[in-house]
Structure 1
């Protein structure tokens, strides 16, 4: 009974639910913004990595390697706490979005690179023979085929980014974890943290299952070929 009253106190969970709900909205907004910005930036970095001039390619490689190696928490602290010393200040939401987007863009760039390089060179030659320019060939021929390969790992990266939104609590952004921590302190009971964990599970578990479904479908398509 003591375990239930301490960690699964229904009355406290109900009282803390409005706070948790506000945190859910901020978490979803942060995750979606990071995915959109990071995905678009990642595709751009990928094209720079593959088709840019040598200095541009080297810059893209350095960008990808550094950000893939750097923990998101370290990057977030640098953006939020270090940049003000050089006169650049961001809100907690902007800092978290920037940190998550930068890291996601690096991973997205590598995933997209692998997807594009998996397309046979004959497809590029055929697009060129049809008189399609580079961007039109990418849009009409290459990227639609590469999308089949990259969707499962990209979806997996998106799920990871949603989990990493919990790090935004470090810079006092009122995300789900920060709201749960505040509710725990206010009510002197860890039940709100359990509630937050259940909410994370509720919207991340479908994403995880979607990744598994996409991977299985990809395997079936390869086998059919």
Structure 2
């Protein structure tokens, strides 16, 4: 095995193969970034909506709760194919990358909304009531009272989810999206040793996820209570 890896290494580590792998790493990172940024934005909106007590918003609260509970329990690969077949009914010209992004956003929004909601609910109710007594509006209370205190609860699981999500984007290769795992399959089909190919793929995932893990640990330490 080692002899084969040493023999194939000069032919494997060529300029075009490295560019192919780096572009795939960029696609993996872009899928994760788009999914997590969208998930944070819509997750916060869903978490804020579920924390309101307005009776007029009750149907909307029930709808988003149903969405969160459903999508947190469906495997990501199933979501990918459901979205792909649903979109093909509307448009057959949509790219596989766009379908993957939509699927990722649906899943990340559901998970991150629950993480944000847990952080929001960790803030003592008395502080929210005090803000209401001072005539703070709902959004002002969220941004000036709730969120500054809830970040220390939100950050650790949110970064753990993002690191996990970098790995879960590999499932997009099942529908033909050219990301890091797809390049591994492609290079192995060219006759390279699977140990060499997936060793490089493993190193690529580590290079993407480790800095994110360290950033999460740093922010967790900075936001921790003294």
- Distance in 2 separating the partners of 1:25 and 1:212: 23
**Cα displacement (A) at 1:113:** 1.1
Q: TM-score, normalised by structure 1?
A: 0.87
Q: Does residue 151 of the first structure (1) align with residue 155 of the second (2)?
A: yes
- Distance in 1 separating the partners of 2:7 and 2:130: 62
1:120 pairs, out of 118, 124, 131, with: 124
Task: Check conservation: 2:32, 2:165, Cα contact below 8 A.
Answer: yes
**Cα displacement (A) at 1:49:** 1.8
- Distance in 1 separating the partners of 2:76 and 2:7: 31
Task: Check conservation: 2:32, 2:169, Cα contact below 8 A.
Answer: yes
Task: Check conservation: 2:4, 2:193, Cα contact below 8 A.
Answer: no
Q: Does residue 205 of the first structure (1) align with residue 210 of the second (2)?
A: yes
**Cα displacement (A) at 1:9:** 3.9
Q: Does residue 133 of the first structure (1) align with residue 134 of the second (2)?
A: no
**Cα displacement (A) at 1:103:** 1.0
Distance 1:207 1:82, change over 3 A: same
Distance 1:8 1:36, change over 3 A: farther
Task: Check conservation: 1:27, 1:165, Cα contact below 8 A.
Answer: yes
Match in the other structure for 2:197: 192
- Distance in 1 separating the partners of 2:67 and 2:155: 22
- Distance in 1 separating the partners of 2:125 and 2:181: 47
Please give the secondary structure, in 1, of the residue aligned with 2:72: helix
Task: Check conservation: 1:7, 1:189, Cα contact below 8 A.
Answer: no
5 Å matches for 1:154-165? Answer: 154-165=158-169
Q: Does residue 96 of the first structure (1) align with residue 100 of the second (2)?
A: yes
